[in-house]
Structure 1
């Protein structure tokens, strides 16, 4: 799709667009579920989550969000990709783009400043019934507190591409639901956190699970399943819908065993800024 062929108007979303957003989101509840959650939690014109809309003669066709070094772009059929690519190319410091699969494929062809260095399919899943697991598995996990900050920061410091900074971990512990599994280390009183699941964002009705990570040497014991199931059940007790994305097929099998079902296909682009790369030469 060439940019020149696009007649869409792209502009920042404002509170007056709430009705247009609701109409778009109602066309496919699952595809636009995280978009609805983001606007519910962050609102419009929020510096922490800038947002744009692509309009066709006043009708909203798709939405774009930026959070830290990622953008999220969602529409019904991929037609907004070229228009949103112009906005994305004007942003600095991006490392990735997540979005509805057709839109991600369109972005891959339309981006100019950013070079795509990888693409993964990222299914979106939701859990509409209690987690399918034994009570003994749930008992492996507990809810973390701010007292776990040092141990949890140490876990994510070695998590590779799932790294989280200490301030991010503190924020999650202070304001969100975080579930962990511990293992003993030598002395009975010495433990370390070996697995975790937390929330990327939580609204009045939905919790988006993320950060599911287990230390490599502690895998194979069901710890990730325990953390995810305990977190999902905690959300459900408050009448909220657990949902998540995954890229790793092993993780996908784990979530399906717990009862999650795929409801929308997304993609994840890994990006390199060609302007920054040129400046380093």
Structure 2
């Protein structure tokens, strides 16, 4: 049985997601931060017909969807829910889980990424103090300049309006943060978090403008961001597909823990 979840399901849902806290970082963060009464967010759960146990979850955030299950689940039922949204943009999740939707839904593009976690910063990693000193935390007025940087990065295949509204919301609500470095009056490098919750945060949007690559700017931004989050007792996760980028993240302290797939309509 699949039904929409409400605040009455909060404790059951969080206990279920807590079985895999790193993997469910987005889900846990969105439940803690936004709950069940937002226009931009809905959560459905599948319950075992025999014992009533919650066995699978599907989150809608804007027009992006994220499933989680700890075993076999109603793939067709979840697919039907997503296909009702004619503005569906992306399906993402653990690679093994998302693969089950391939034959039920058509997607124009798919990206498989390494999934890495950081619990403590590697203080012996590379540093560039002169660069790090110029890293600052973004304010609301920085949303457009940061998103303008993302617009020129080929790897970011995100709806521009959704990207801007999402970043603005995360800064306004404290569910995410963005750090940046400026050069020549423009944002040269940036990195953000999303789904910040009581235990963890996801690093997203790591980018350097093509004109400023090879200077260690992104590394400095990510290191500063991670240092501030870890100082609050939280772990961090991120995705990457570039082995060179993976080497940089591992010097900071990240370790691979699995794979993540994003499928775009």
Which residue of the partner structure matches residue 256 of structure 1? 250
Change beyond 3 A, Cα 1:31–1:80: farther
Distance in 1 of aligned mates of 2:82 and 2:117:
29
**Secondary structure at 2:102 match in 1:** helix
Q: Deviations over 1:177-218 (max 9, x none)?
A: 21111223xxxxxx2211101122222232222111111121
Distance in 1 of aligned mates of 2:19 and 2:147:
40
**Secondary structure at 1:130 match in 2:** coil
Contact 1:182 1:195 in 2 (8 A): yes
Instruction: Determine if the alignment matches structure 1 residue 12 to structure 2 residue 8.
Output: no
Which residue of the partner structure matches residue 51 of structure 1? 43
Distance in 2 of aligned mates of 1:95 and 1:47:
17
Contact 1:162 1:213 in 2 (8 A): no
Specify every segment of 5 or more residues in structure 1 that has no aligned partner in the other structure, as ranges.
1-8, 185-190, 272-281
Q: CA deviation at 1:130?
A: 1.4
Contact 2:120 2:235 in 1 (8 A): no
**Secondary structure at 1:233 match in 2:** helix
Distance in 2 of aligned mates of 1:249 and 1:71:
27
Aligned positions of 1:117-156 closer than 5 A: 117-131=108-122, 132-134=125-127, 136=129, 138-149=132-143, 151-156=145-150
Contact 2:46 2:73 in 1 (8 A): no
Distance in 2 of aligned mates of 1:32 and 1:173:
21
Which residue of the partner structure matches residue 183 of structure 1? 183
Specify every segment of 5 or more residues in structure 2 that has no aligned partner in the other structure, as ranges.
none
**Secondary structure at 1:72 match in 2:** strand
Contact 1:140 1:226 in 2 (8 A): no
Change beyond 3 A, Cα 1:134–1:143: same
Change beyond 3 A, Cα 1:52–1:211: same
Change beyond 3 A, Cα 1:150–1:45: closer
TM-score (norm 1): 0.80
Change beyond 3 A, Cα 1:243–1:90: same
Q: CA RMSD in A?
A: 2.4
Which residue of the partner structure matches residue 60 of structure 1? 54
**Secondary structure at 1:181 match in 2:** strand
Distance in 1 of aligned mates of 2:207 and 2:168:
17
Instruction: Determine if the alignment matches structure 1 residue 108 to structure 2 residue 102.
Output: yes
Change beyond 3 A, Cα 1:123–1:10: farther
Q: CA deviation at 1:78?
A: 5.5
Match of 2:24 among 29, 32, 35: 32
Q: Deviations over 1:44-101 (max 9, x none)?
A: 2432211111111211111111112311111124534333112112222112100122
Distance in 1 of aligned mates of 2:79 and 2:108:
16
Distance in 1 of aligned mates of 2:127 and 2:204:
22
Distance in 2 of aligned mates of 1:152 and 1:193:
6
Which residue of the partner structure matches residue 216 of structure 1? 210
Q: How many residues align?
A: 254
Distance in 1 of aligned mates of 2:7 and 2:165:
30
Change beyond 3 A, Cα 1:233–1:78: farther
